[in-house]
Amino acid sequence: MREVASMGANAWLAVKLYFQTEVLSGFIYHACEERLLDILSGVSVRRPESRGRFVELSEVTVQHSDGKEERLPGAYVNKATIQLAATLAADSGRGIGAKIGTKPYPFQQKSTVPVSLRTAAYAINGNMHRATYQRVWHVLEERPMFLPLTNVDIQALVNGSHWKVPFVAVNKEQILSLQEEGTPFLQVVHPQPQNPT
């Protein structure tokens, strides 16, 4: 698979899309500094046509859970069925957040929170990013369909396949559970039974 190839202000972004029973590798065409998260969540201002339910993937390799592979010249993928979308290069899907130095608006500095989460097909460990005033549940309830994670370990529950990737966008509708690592949940206090006198 080729790496990201530039074309002026646009580029081909190498991605892996994880589904219930298969993984698709290929390329998404995008404007420079456009985030993968925005393309998937349909909030790209530069490309109004990307706001639909499908994303176009070129030079596709399909890896089935039984180990078989097939190649396709392209495919339109239903965004709602994607469980995870990963970039293959560390900063290639992050837009202005990956740039060194002062970042222009609307960039906002965020802190990392280690999390573990599950979808129907994958166990995922990585770093979630939140503003200082936010709790984890605030980020989960925000409008974008996909949740960004960095430094991610992915394990397929069906066959134990394992991937380590720098960036993943997780479809929030596919998340079964999420746990913030190292932060205890509120403890349930059970009332003591009253002894009759």
pLDDT tens digits, 6-28: 444 568 889 999 999 999 999 99
Grouping H, G, I as helix, E, B as strand and the rest as coil, residue 41 is helix
HSE-up of 129 (CA within 13 Å, CB side)?
Answer: 17
Q: What pLDDT score was predicted for residue 129?
A: 85
Phi-psi region of 33 (alpha: psi -120 to 50; beta: other; left: phi over 0): left
Give the lowest-confidence range in 14-18, 105-109, 149-153, 179-183: 105-109
* Confidence label for 122 from pLDDT (cuts 50, 70 and 90): very high
Phi, psi of 66 (to 5 degrees): -85, 5
b/e sequence 126-145, b meaning 16+ C-beta within 10 Å: bebbbeeeeeeeebeeeeeb
pLDDT of residue 70: 96
For residue 52, give the 3-state DSSP assignment: coil
Length of the chain: 197
Handedness of CA 175, 40, 149, 74 (dihedral sign): positive
Under 8 Å between Cβ of 153 and 162: yes
**52, two tokens:** 């639909």
Looking at 2.30.30.100, 2.60.260.20, 3.30.360.10, 3.40.1260.20, the CATH number of the domain 6-90+105-180 comes to: 2.30.30.100
Pairing of the two strands 22-31 and 10-18: antiparallel
Return the higher-pLDDT residue of 33 and 152. Answer: 152
> Domain extents for the chain?
6-90+105-180
Give the pLDDT score at 135. Answer: 72
Query: Per the structure block, which two tokens stand in for 39?
Result: 């393309």
Most confident by average pLDDT, 9-23, 33-47, 95-109, 145-159: 145-159
Q: What is the pLDDT of residues 32-82, one digit of tens each?
A: 667 788 888 876 555 555 458 899 999 999 999 888 999 999 999 999 999
Provide the CB-side half-sphere exposure for 45 (13 A, CA): 1
By the 10 Å C-beta count (0-12 exposed, 13-18 middle, 19+ buried), 30 is classed as buried
Q: Provide the pLDDT confidence category of residue 159 given band limits of 50, 70 and 90.
A: confident
Report which of residues 194 and 3 the model is more confident about.
Answer: 194
Residue 101: band (very low, low, confident or very high) from pLDDT cuts 50, 70, 90: low
